[in-house]
């Protein structure tokens, strides 16, 4: 639920979040993480191997734990299932915190990858106070739609951008019943929305980074859109999206048409 263009409540979790979150996946540097905090960013996603992020958050938690929201989780294995409790306990130690705000089962590709056993175990973490909310990241939109319609998870993390708009049919219509938080990633479609497609007119415009993020944030169903900058320059370009507000109707039309072109050329992943 959006409080304004820059701020939202992360669904039924009640967590107040800045709508641009930061992922440390591409190691932007500790300076960028501090710049993000100074700019108001309070939602951070990290894997266990994101040393820059975990170390910086550890330091910040000493004085700002109640002001920062951290999301992490256990990654789905191609064979078998990860040890969710072991992963949770490891993240708690890495971050030197008593609880994780949003604990996710990551990289779910098919319904068979997560069942009641895994969901029940994560619910126990929540009951124990070791996590505040549970959820998953998943590429199967229809499966996400089913889980959110049943109220099975508190938060969903998924792809959403101008080229991947399927969530508008498969997920967003099912949010109202149980109000899960929605976190999106790859606003630039892994950079493809910032590149000129083969055969695209040389004099025709291509999207900017801020337009990609504003496309996502213009949808009120999205609570947090993750940035994953490589450096301070990219972070500055991404964060500028908030100062420009929602896309105009003309900008939205341009983004959808350009997104369709990108998707048409890259059908292998929708």
**What would the DSSP string read from start to end of 73-124?**
EEEPPSSS---HHHHHHHHHHHHT-S-EEEEEEEEE-SGGGS-HHHHHHHHH
Domains within the chain, CATH numbers bracketed = 7-265 (3.20.20.100)
Question: What's the pLDDT score for residue 268?
Answer: 52
What pLDDT, in 10s, does the model give residues 131-178?
999 999 998 999 999 999 999 999 999 999 999 999 999 999 999 999
What pLDDT, in 10s, does the model give residues 190-247?
999 999 998 899 999 999 999 999 999 999 999 999 999 999 999 999 999 999 999 9
Confidence of residue 76 (pLDDT cuts 50, 70, 90): confident
Give the Å distances, CA to CA, from 155 to 103, 182, 248.
9, 6, 29
Q: Higher pLDDT residue, 125 or 199?
A: 125
The pair of structure tokens assigned to 88 is 């949770």
Cβ(192)–Cβ(173) under 8 Å?
no
List all residues 6 or more positions away from 148 whose beta carbon is below 8 Å from its beta carbon.
156, 171, 174, 175, 177, 178, 180
Cβ(100)–Cβ(70) under 8 Å?
yes
Question: What's the pLDDT score for residue 70?
Answer: 98
């Amino acid at each position: 639920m959006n409080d304004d263009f820059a701020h939202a409540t992360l669904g039924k979790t009640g967590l107040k979040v800045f709508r641009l979150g930061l992922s440390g996946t591409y190691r932007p540097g500790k300076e960028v993480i501090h710049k993000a905090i100074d700019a108001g960013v309070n939602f951070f996603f990290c894997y266990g191997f994101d040393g820059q992020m975990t170390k910086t958050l550890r330091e910040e938690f000493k004085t700002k734990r109640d002001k920062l929201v951290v999301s992490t989780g256990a990654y789905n294995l191609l064979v078998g299932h990860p040890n969710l409790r072991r992963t949770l306990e490891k993240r708690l130690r890495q971050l030197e915190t008593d609880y994780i705000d949003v604990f996710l089962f990551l990289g779910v590709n098919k319904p068979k990858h997560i069942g009641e056993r895994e969901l029940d175990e994560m619910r126990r973490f929540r009951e124990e106070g070791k996590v505040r909310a549970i959820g998953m990241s998943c590429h199967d939109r229809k499966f996400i739609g089913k889980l959110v319609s049943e109220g099975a998870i508190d938060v969903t993390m998924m792809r959403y951008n101008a080229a991947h708009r399927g969530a508008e049919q498969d997920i967003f219509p099912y949010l109202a019943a149980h109000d899960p938080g929605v976190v999106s990633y790859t606003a630039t479609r892994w950079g493809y929305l910032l590149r000129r497609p083969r055969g695209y007119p040389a004099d025709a415009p291509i999207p900017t980074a801020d337009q990609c993020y504003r496309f996502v944030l213009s949808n009120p169903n999205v609570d947090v859109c993750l940035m994953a900058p490589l450096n301070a320059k990219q972070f500055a370009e991404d964060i500028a999206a908030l100062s420009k507000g929602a896309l105009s109707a003309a900008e939205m039309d341009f983004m959808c048409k350009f997104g369709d072109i990108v998707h048409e050329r890259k059908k292998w992943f929708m």
